[in-house]
Amino acid sequence: MADTAHPFVTVRHDWTKAEIAALFDLPFMELVYRAATVHRQYFDPSEVQLSQLLSIKTGGCAENCGYCSQSAHHKTGLKASKLMPVDEVLTAAKAAKDGGAQRFCMGAAWRDLKDRDVPALAEMISEVKALGLETCATLGMITADQAKSLKDAGLDYYNHNLDTSPEYYADVVTTRTYQERLDTLEAVREVGMKTCCGGIVGMGESRADRASFLHQLATLPAHPDSLPINNLVPVSNTPLGELSKVKGGVTPVEFVRTIAVARIVCPKSMVRLSAGRNEMSEELQALCFMAGANSIFVGDQLLTTANPERGTDAHLMQSLGLRPMTM
């Protein structure tokens, strides 16, 4: 790696696992400095994108993701629901915009999108887009034809996380292959839609897994436009929720390291603090912003987990001198 004042300012797709592992091993202050330097090459460090997420179809998912309260494989007590009516989604989207959100994300607990649901979703997306919001959806695996229909309706971003490294993946989920996740991302890119793709830390994975996970993102044909980093929120009666009671999650410093490395290897991506922020101190979040995070979810709910209240986030933004990103 070059030893210059600004060693990581170009967008690369040829990162090696060894290079990324070496970043994780840097002294903490040096790593954060390098990430902050890269961040300033592409973004205003005082600006944060505000997104809001709504579960438009909750529970009953056929996947067996070990972290998820919505899986039909786990007895978490979550009641499954049908797809929300368009007018209810619109009401939530208007409230999100009035609350300062710039992007509205819609999530459905499906393994894959069925063609029969595309017309309702297209109407939903079109109406939300008409409000002046950026639109994002996470609906499971989709085909290129489905992706084109959603893009034509006004969908700006499609979220499909890799979750973790290829090596640790089978410890997280077995009902969908890693390649199927990559195929969905390819279908989204083929139609010219932006991708939102990240993962979860604190699931019992090693640092080597975190490096391998970021290597996957850094070597994609196009880096994710949005890159969410979730910190596991343990859910009782899920495999990874129970495992966390034994192994614990990542330390705050290790979480910041993950944010910093993500910023360096995907320098133009929006790096989002996602699930788990409700359990983070202001000081930890400040370190994450310093290390290159520049997007958060606002609103008091993330699908089925709690998120900081608006007043809490307003205080955080004010105390750190942050402002909403200019669209």
CB 134 within 8 A of CB 158: no
Widest CA span of the chain, in angstroms? 55
Burial class (CB in 10 A: 0-12, 13-18, 19+), 237: exposed
**H or E segment and range at residue 57:** strand 47-57
SS3 102: coil
Asked whether residue 10 is assigned to any structural domain, the reply reads: no
Per the structure, the complete domain to which residue 225 belongs is given by 24-321
140 CB neighbour count, 10 Å cutoff: 19
Q: Active-site positions? A: 61, 65, 68, 105, 136, 196, 272
Rounded Cα distance, 215 and 40, in Å: 22
Domain membership of residue 161 (yes or no) is yes
How is 184-216 classified by DSSP, letter by letter?
Answer: HHHHHHHTT-EEE--EEE-SS--HHHHHHHHHH
Asked whether the beta carbons of 47 and 154 are under 8 A apart, the reply is no
C-alpha to C-alpha distance for 252 and 108, rounded to whole angstroms: 30
| 175, part of any domain | yes
- Domain membership of residue 327 (yes or no) is no
Digits of tens for pLDDT over the chain (327 positions)? 333 444 556 899 999 999 999 999 999 999 999 999 999 999 999 999 999 999 998 876 878 787 777 776 777 777 777 889 999 999 999 999 998 899 999 998 888 899 999 999 999 999 999 999 999 999 999 999 999 999 999 999 999 999 999 999 999 999 999 999 999 999 999 999 999 999 999 999 999 999 999 999 999 999 999 999 999 887 777 877 777 777 778 999 999 999 999 999 999 999 999 888 888 999 999 999 999 999 998 877 666 667 778 889 899 999 999 999 987
Q: Please say whether the beta carbons of 172 and 63 come within 8 A.
A: no
Is residue 6 in some structural domain? no
3-state secondary structure of 77: coil
In a domain, 233, yes or no: yes
Q: Is residue 1 part of a domain?
A: no
* Total number of domains constituting the chain: 1
Phi, psi at residue 150, to the nearest 5°? Answer: -70, -40
Asked whether the beta carbons of 55 and 83 are under 8 A apart, the reply is: no
For residue 163, give the 3-state DSSP assignment: strand
What type of residue is 315?
Answer: H
Global pTM reads 0.92
Taking the C-alpha atoms of residue 273 and residue 6, their distance in angstroms, rounded to an integer, is 25
Is residue 2 a part of any domain in this protein? no
CATH number at residue 105: 3.20.20.70
